[in-house]
Structure 1
């Protein structure tokens, strides 16, 4: 049996450099909890991140928290049950102007559209006069406010008084449109993509309207929202999360095999629906510099403040400073 002195000498001479001192435990990577809605595209991106190990490769662990709907997502985010959700630029700006420091990381430029049956006589916004119009969301939905303003400016049409407007949940409105109980429907993009293979067409998109109001290109109206405190407390994990998000989108854009883990989550009953959803998702990948995004965001904020007033944008007159997350981790 070796003496203690002999054992130490043997360890010192070992070519492997063995040490009897215990190694410090490696700290587990910080987690990022992302809220995901049923059939929402966040689950698509998260599936690619997990399948390809993009979270561990970027120094964090992704935890997906399933939430029932938009209201539940906002409550979970405000209450700290999740670190991030995909949310609206205007809501983030309102929170910031009210004193709650929020950071916005662009997620998608794809927005809603006004859909009509393929054989509909409706060809322009002026043709909506006297028609039955379904609107996803409520009276202060940004897409609705933009559509109202565009109809008034280009066709002299007051949609609130010269059309029959019904607000409701997107699935119900899409069904009513299919059943012929509505003449047109202003719907979120995923529902628009699902209607296209069924013979419906887009009359006008939110992107077209935003350009008419001064946007210089396709801008991201939705993004990952983060508390500034989260950015400061977990700077490396947050930065890693945004890198992983970009990498997942690039994988979906360039590698058809990346869709293998996504397609089961899409509720796409046929190839045409799958291809329409895939096309519009990829078209919405943000690619512009943050400075350009903010410039167009300021223009949109001014338009929304004029159209919706304080009920929509709050008391602020512009986007709060530091709203866009730049990857610095400074909060």
Structure 2
């Protein structure tokens, strides 16, 4: 897999907002295999966080990959994978971004969720515990009794932090986790609402450049090195009712993932569209990797880690919840 280059250049400012541009394509391609017999649904709503992880959705729209498949895809902002589950169950979303911890937790509770495409895998320094520059907290062990902000509780954030607490001789019970959306974390910590935060890009760069935050720990090391982070999910019922629509989505998103994995400039070009990250910031933030297909063995690592840390009561066979594209056999 191609590792996206990382830069640490200093910048003077960064503007991050929550607005999304729903730039869907329309029409049908005469040679689109997805349209043989017609798609069950030609316009779909897809949930995504306004962070670099989900960039392939916007690449696919901008490059016309969805349009080639006869699909119009409308991005919808979400705050996390956990909240996306009820949104796909209700039909508010057709497909959504999800982190794998949320997905496996939902499946363990009987939710009929299927993974339909991969999205993002961690690399060094793109999921960090951050603290203010003048914080007395110098090591992870110093977090004992402190409050740590995460975007969702009992999720990839708390699991990742807990693995680092373990290395420092602590447990999750030694700290307090509190929820706060990524864009609000920096100001909340600076304002004294918490002591630290589990922060991803572009907010790592934003808190460093605007608030003077520093990295306390990279949470994607040791047990979590190269951990699969996020993918695309749908309900089992939706995948069964819309097999041609799903296959069209899978083909388009896989092309976008391959482009993201091979050309960072494509990512940089799209980030300002849906996150309002300025072009300079887009060129320096630290990125993970963009797998083009789901790999059960790789994802099983996440489920096994969840079992170890008691996020699951029993093992999950990841293969059973993957819907492979037709071309994958």
Q: Could you tell me the TM-score, scaled by structure 2's length?
A: 0.71
Give the unaligned 5+ runs of structure 2.
1-34
1:136 corresponds, among 145, 150, 167, to 150
Shift of 1:115: 0.8
1:155 corresponds, among 168, 190, 201, to 168
Shift of 1:289: 6.3
SS at match of 2:50: coil
2:233 corresponds, among 202, 221, 225, to 225
Asked whether the 8 Å contact 2:102–2:155 carries over to 1, the reply is no
Determine the structure 1 residue equivalent to 2:323.
Answer: 325
1:256 equivalent to 2:265? Answer yes
The 5 Å alignment of 1:260-299 reads 260-269=269-278, 271=280, 273-277=281-285, 279-280=286-287, 283-286=288-291, 290-299=295-304
Determine the structure 2 residue equivalent to 1:169.
Answer: 181
Q: Which has the larger radius of gyration?
A: 1
Number of aligned pairs?
A: 287
Q: Distance in 2 between matches of 1:237 and 1:97?
A: 27
Deviates more, 1:262-271 or 1:82-91: 262-271
The 5 Å alignment of 1:1-12 reads none
Determine the structure 1 residue equivalent to 2:127.
Answer: 112
Asked whether the 8 Å contact 1:134–1:173 carries over to 2, the reply is no
Q: Distance in 1 between matches of 2:201 and 2:170?
A: 24
Determine the structure 1 residue equivalent to 2:305.
Answer: 300
Give the unaligned 5+ runs of structure 1.
1-24
1:124 equivalent to 2:139? Answer yes
Q: Distance in 2 between matches of 1:291 and 1:38?
A: 24
The 5 Å alignment of 1:22-61 reads 29=39, 30-31=41-42, 33-37=44-48, 39-41=50-52, 44-57=55-68, 59-61=69-71
Asked whether the 8 Å contact 2:149–2:185 carries over to 1, the reply is yes
Alignment RMSD: 3.6
1:191 equivalent to 2:203? Answer yes
Shift of 1:287: 6.0
The 5 Å alignment of 1:13-24 reads none
Q: Distance in 2 between matches of 1:258 and 1:149?
A: 30
Shift of 1:38: 6.5
- Report the structure, 1 or 2, having the larger helix content: 1
Q: Distance in 2 between matches of 1:189 and 1:220?
A: 16
SS at match of 1:318: coil
* Residues 144 and 202 of structure 1, relative CA distance in 2, 3 Å threshold: same
What do residues 219-244 of structure 1 show as CA deviations (whole Å, max 9, x unaligned)? 32321012233333333332232232
SS at match of 2:129: strand
Q: Could you tell me the TM-score, scaled by structure 1's length?
A: 0.70
SS at match of 1:207: coil
Structure possessing the higher relative contact order (Cα contacts under 8 Å, 6 or more residues apart):
2
